[in-house]
Amino acid sequence: PTVTYVSPDGTERSVAVPPGTTVMEAALDNGIDGIVGECGGAAMCATCHVYVESEHLAAAPPMTVDEDAMLDEASSARAGNSRLSCQLPMTAELDGIRVRLPERQR
Give residues in contact with ligand FES (CB under 6 A).
24, 37-39, 41-48, 70, 84, 86
What is the closest distance, in whole angstroms, from the C-beta atom of residue 16 to ligand FES in the complex? 21
User: In which element (H, E) is residue 25 found?
Assistant: helix 23-29
Tell the smallest beta-carbon distance from residue 48 to ligand FES (Å): 3
Residue with smaller CB distance to ligand FES, 6 or 105: 105
In what side-by-side order are the strands of the sheet with 49-52? 12-16, 2-6, 97-100, 49-52, 82-84
Toward ligand FES, which CB reaches closer, 10 or 65? 65
Nearer Cβ to ligand FES (6/46): 46
User: Which amino acid belongs to residue 43?
Assistant: A
Distances (CA, A) of 28 to 15, 22, 41, 45: 11, 10, 11, 15
Give residue number: closest CB to ligand FES: 86
- Cα dihedral sign, 51-46-43-71: negative
| Cβ-based nearer residue to ligand FES, 10 or 62 | 62
